[in-house]
């Protein structure tokens, strides 16, 4: 139903040319009559029909044709009135004036019509645009959108839903939800639609399609803007199959992870238990061996000759080594499991150094090595004295072990900013740069053949590193091959017992 | 029983250990150093024998079948007759582990010797307790 005007290519709508024809005929008759009756060429007669004709023109809205037509009519009537005699100049002038007036009226009318048409066009454009907007909204989504009436018959559906149902164009017309779904689904859907109609409120639910996947459906009422009556229900159906599967997958994974965590906790628990068991089981047979040997050595079983004493010393020494090895293995395993046990107290590191030196002195003397000390003034630190003694002892033991001849070993302690620093220096074989990083790994001996020659398991420094780390400190080495090495470790001063134990507690509680 | 001690002049040490060889070795050392010993292979035997005789010192192992060390310790500490008895742990369990298990809290526990032990360390510890 388009609005077209002749000039604009648009039609004048309901306006009928008949009215114009009638108006013209009426004017014609009136003009002829008045001319005949009155027998004169009376201008006034025109005034009878002019308003009517002009009204027609306004109505018809076509200035030029109408004006010409009217001019023609006027001339004819005038000619008739004069019995087809000569048309006077005066009559011609009147006709011309008449045409001009008609033209002006028609012109104005047409102008107005044009603006009306333009307005109408604008209005329709706006409507079309907003419709396009909604259309693109409805079509651009991945969701199915459709409109159903009370009987679940489709009133509209977007392309997405058309294709989902295997339809095209307006094939949905006259079909209902039940045509595309199982009986159970249809029954359920009908109930939900009914619910929306009755309550007037939206509902949302997850729907497991009998043919495909999962959908999240939102059913909302469509109300008549005037009466408020519910006329239909829109259904927005979001395909959540992927999400559902992902959720399912996540649930499964979570379950698996949970089991793994339980497994791991169990393993960690077992490992710790195994460690204390192993250490206990290994030490148990060693204990009577060690005790009996000591008794033998002390002459409890009768006096020994020198050879026997020497023999038992060898055995005893190795029994002790074996005991230390068990301790070292337990320690390194605990360090690796993050379960090393320490007991933090306020302590002076110099006391610990002194103690360690006292313990290592005999071994140094055996090699003719002098241990010199430069102990600085140290603040109290929080630490496990026994463990730190173990670290310093190992550094000293190494220094003595890897010293060349009877070169001296030096121990220095000092405050270094916010740390206390311990240095153990020897003038022994030294360590090459590549080897420096290997040192602190468990079971690492730079040259295994040499390591064996010097004795030891390669655990000492790895344990030392673990113990120093537990203290929040650092351990490192500076060395020159062939000239000697300096091992350092530092421990922060400004840490309370709580601060030190916090990470341990966390680890332990796991 | 006190009289017996007075007669012989020997101090009595009870050794509790499930390992027979350890039990034997420890008592051998102690007897050679003039102590009288009572042997017990587990917690039940320990508590049973404590009913008959009260030693000066108990050398107690940790991790034995039967009663746990904690249970033994509880029995001893709550028995008024045994209030003066001193307890020294002698065990392959690390002292920090025992501390964590709360075994070192009782005031009667005076020392902790780790296995394998040094004879001197053992004798010094007992000596210290009995001369007090
Ligand atoms: N002062 C040093 N001079 C030269 N090399 C050293 C020095 N200290 C350690 N090393 C090298 O680092 C290796 C590892 O030392 P670590 O203390 O970890 O083990 P170990 O002394 O061989 O055995 P353990 O200490 O367990 O008895 C040594 O085997 C040695 O090769
Ligand atoms: Mg070493």
Q: pLDDT tens across B107-118, in order?
A: 999 999 999 999
Phi, psi of B97 (to 5 degrees): -65, -45
* Residue of minimum CA distance from atom 7 in ligand 1: A398
Residues with a CB atom less than 6 Å from ligand 1: A 328, 394, 398-399, 402, 426, 428-429, 431, 439, 444-446, 451, 456-462, 485
CA distances to A12, A434, B72, B76 from A463, rounded to whole Å, are 103, 20, 35, 38
Query: Ligand nearest A427 Cα, by number?
Result: 1
Helices then strands, each counted (H, E), chain B: 6, 5
First CA to last CA distance, chain A: 80
More confident residue, A18 or B29: B29
Could you tell me the distance, in angstroms and rounded to a whole number, from the CA of residue A460 to the centre of ligand 2? 4
Hey, what's the torsion of the CAs at A259, A262, A268, A273, to 10 degrees? -120
More confident residue, A100 or A364: A364
CB distance B89 to B103 below 8 Å: yes
Q: Best of A392, A398, A453 to mutate for ligand 1, by most ligand atoms within 8 A of CB?
A: A398
Return the closest-CA partner of residue A389 out of A343, A339, A426.
A343
Residue contact A342–B21, C-beta within 8 A: no
Pairing of the two strands A419-426 and A484-492? antiparallel
pLDDT of residue B54: 95
Of A231-245, A257-271, A403-417, minimum mean pLDDT range: A257-271
pLDDT of residue A270: 80
Best B92, B101, B102, B123 residue to mutate vs chain A (most A CBs within 10 Å): B92
Residue contact A295–B92, C-beta within 8 A: no
CA distances to B11, B68, B87 from B130, rounded to whole Å, are 7, 26, 11
Phi, psi of A149 (to 5 degrees): -95, -170
Among B92, B100, B118, the residue with its CB nearest the CB of A283 is B92
Taking contacts as CB-CB distances below 8 angstroms, the residues of chain B near A292 are: 25
One-character DSSP codes across A63-97: HHHHHHHHHHHHHHHHHHHTTT-PPPHHHHHHHHH
Q: What ligand 1 atom has the least distance to the C-alpha of A429? A: 4
More confident residue, A333 or A126: A126
CA distance A161 to A167: 8
CB distance A463 to A394 below 8 Å: yes
Q: pLDDT tens across A158-209, in order?
A: 988 998 888 888 888 889 999 988 898 999 999 999 999 999 999 999 998 7
Nearest chain B Cα to A280, which residue?
Answer: B92
Taking contacts as CB-CB distances below 8 angstroms, the residues of chain A near B100 are: 341
First CA to last CA distance, chain B: 20
Q: pLDDT tens across A156-166, in order?
A: 999 889 988 88
> Exposed, middle or buried, B48 (CB in 10 Å: 0-12/13-18/19+)?
exposed
Confidence check: pLDDT of A239 > 60: yes
Confidence check: pLDDT of A4 > 60: no
Taking contacts as CB-CB distances below 8 angstroms, the residues of chain A near B59 are: none
Query: Ligand nearest A458 Cα, by number?
Result: 1
Among B26, B92, B96, the residue with its CB nearest the CB of A291 is B26
Among A276, A286, A343, the residue with its CB nearest the CB of B116 is A286
CA distance A458 to A105: 117
Contacts of B44 (CB under 8 A, 6+ apart): B66, B67
Q: Best of A321, A424, A461 to mutate for ligand 1, by most ligand atoms within 8 A of CB?
A: A461
Taking contacts as CB-CB distances below 8 angstroms, the residues of chain A near B93 are: 276, 280
pLDDT of residue A62: 59
> Exposed, middle or buried, B88 (CB in 10 Å: 0-12/13-18/19+)?
buried
Best A282, A288, A319, A322 residue to mutate vs chain B (most B CBs within 10 Å): A288
pLDDT of residue A12: 44
- Express as a percent the part of chain A with pLDDT over 90: 43
Return the closest-CA partner of residue A207 out of A195, A199, A196, A219.
A219
Shortest Cα distance, chain A CAs vs residue B21, angstroms: 6
Q: pLDDT tens across B54-101, in order?
A: 999 999 999 899 999 999 999 999 999 999 999 999 999 888 888 888
Bridge-partner residues for B37, per DSSP? B13
- Express as a percent the part of chain A with pLDDT over 70: 75
Shortest Cα distance, chain A CAs vs residue B95, angstroms: 10
One-character DSSP codes across B7-26: HH-PEEEEEE-S-HHHHHHH
CA distance A109 to A61: 5
Nearest chain B Cα to A282, which residue?
Answer: B92
How many CA atoms does the CB half-sphere of B64 hold within 13 Å?
A: 28
Q: pLDDT tens across A24-69, in order?
A: 666 666 666 656 655 555 555 555 556 656 666 666 555 556 666 6
CA distance A461 to A466: 8
Q: Best of A460, A486, A488 to mutate for ligand 1, by most ligand atoms within 8 A of CB?
A: A460
Contacts of A413 (CB under 8 A, 6+ apart): A349, A350, A353, A374, A375, A376, A378, A420, A421, A422, A423
Confidence check: pLDDT of B122 > 50: yes
Query: Ligand nearest A436 Cα, by number?
Result: 1
* Average pLDDT in chain A: 82
Shortest Cα distance, chain A CAs vs residue B77, angstroms: 26
Confidence check: pLDDT of A341 > 90: no
Q: What ligand 1 atom has the least distance to the C-alpha of A458? A: 19
CB distance A222 to A234 below 8 Å: yes
Confidence check: pLDDT of A508 > 60: no
Q: pLDDT tens across A281-337, in order?
A: 899 999 999 999 999 999 999 999 999 999 999 999 999 989 988 988 888 888 877
Confidence check: pLDDT of A210 > 80: no
């Amino acid at each position: 139903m388009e609005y077209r005007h002749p000039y604009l290519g648009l039609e004048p709508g309901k306006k009928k040319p008949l009215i114009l024809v009638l108006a013209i005929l009426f004017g014609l008759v009136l003009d002829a009559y008045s001319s005949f009756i009155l027998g004169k060429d009376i201008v006034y007669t025109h005034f009878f029909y002019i308003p009517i004709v002009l009204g027609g023109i306004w109505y018809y809205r076509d200035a030029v044709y109408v004006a010409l037509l009217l001019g023609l009519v006027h001339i004819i009537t005038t000619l008739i009135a004069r019995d087809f005699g000569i048309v006077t100049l005066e009559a011609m002038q009147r006709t011309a004036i008449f045409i001009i007036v008609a033209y002006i009226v028609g012109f104005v009318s047409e102008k107005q019509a044009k603006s009306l048409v333009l307005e109408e066009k604008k209005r329709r454009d706006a409507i079309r645009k907003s419709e396009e907007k909604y259309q693109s909204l409805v079509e651009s989504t991945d969701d199915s959108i459709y409109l159903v009436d009370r009987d679940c018959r489709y009133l509209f559906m977007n392309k997405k839903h058309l294709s989902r149902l295997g339809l095209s164009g307006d094939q949905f017309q006259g079909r209902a939800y039940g045509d595309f779904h199982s009986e159970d689904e249809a029954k359920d859907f009908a109930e939900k639609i009914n619910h929306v109609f009755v309550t007037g409120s939206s509902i949302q639910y997850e729907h497991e399609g009998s043919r495909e996947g999962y959908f999240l459906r939102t059913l909302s009422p469509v109300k008549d803007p005037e009466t408020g009556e519910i006329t239909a229900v829109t259904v927005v159906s979001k395909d959540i199959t992927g999400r559902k599967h992902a959720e399912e997958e996540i649930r499964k994974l979570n379950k698996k992870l949970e089991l793994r965590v339980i497994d791991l906790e169990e393993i960690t628990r077992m490992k710790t238990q195994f460690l204390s068991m192993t250490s206990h089981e290994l030490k148990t047979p060693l204990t009577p061996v060690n005790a009996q040997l000591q008794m033998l050595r002390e002459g409890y079983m009768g006096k020994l000759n020198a050879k026997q004493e020497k023999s038992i010393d060898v055995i005893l020494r190795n029994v002790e080594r074996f005991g230390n090895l068990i301790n070292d293995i337990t320690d390194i395993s605990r360090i690796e499991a993050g379960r090393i046990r320490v007991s933090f107290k306020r302590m002076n590191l110099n006391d610990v150094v002194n103690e360690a030196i006292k313990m290592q002195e005999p071994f140094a003397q055996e090699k003719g090595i002098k241990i010199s000390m430069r102990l600085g003034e140290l603040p109290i630190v929080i630490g496990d004295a026994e463990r730190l003694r173990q670290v310093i002892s190992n550094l000293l033991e190494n220094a003595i072990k890897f010293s060349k001849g009877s070169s001296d070993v030096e121990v220095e302690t000092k405050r270094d900013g916010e740390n206390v620093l311990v240095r153990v220096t020897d003038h022994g074989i030294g360590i090459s740069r590549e080897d420096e990083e290997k040192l602190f790994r468990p079971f690492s001996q730079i040259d295994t053949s040499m390591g064996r020659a010097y004795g030891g398991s390669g655990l000492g420094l790895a344990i030392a590193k673990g113990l120093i780390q537990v203290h929040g400190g650092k351990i490192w080495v500076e060395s020159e091959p062939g000239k000697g090495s300096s091992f350092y470790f530092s421990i922060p001063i400004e840490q309370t017992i709580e601060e030190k134990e916090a990470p341990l507690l966390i680890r332990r509680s796991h | 029983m006190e009289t017996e001690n007075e007669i012989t002049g020997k101090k009595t040490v009870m050794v509790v250990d499930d390992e027979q060889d350890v039990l034997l070795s420890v008592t051998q050392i102690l007897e050679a150093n003039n102590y009288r010993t009572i042997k017990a292979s587990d917690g039940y035997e320990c508590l049973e024998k404590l009913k008959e005789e009260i030693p000066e010192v108990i050398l107690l192992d940790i991790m034995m079948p039967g009663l746990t060390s904690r249970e033994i310790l509880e029995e001893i500490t709550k028995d008024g007759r045994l209030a003066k008895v001193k307890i020294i742990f002698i065990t392959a369990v690390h002292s920090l582990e025992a501390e964590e298990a709360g075994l070192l809290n009782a005031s009667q526990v005076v020392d902790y010797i780790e296995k394998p032990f040094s004879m001197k360390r053992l004798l010094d510890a007992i000596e210290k307790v009995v001369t007090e």
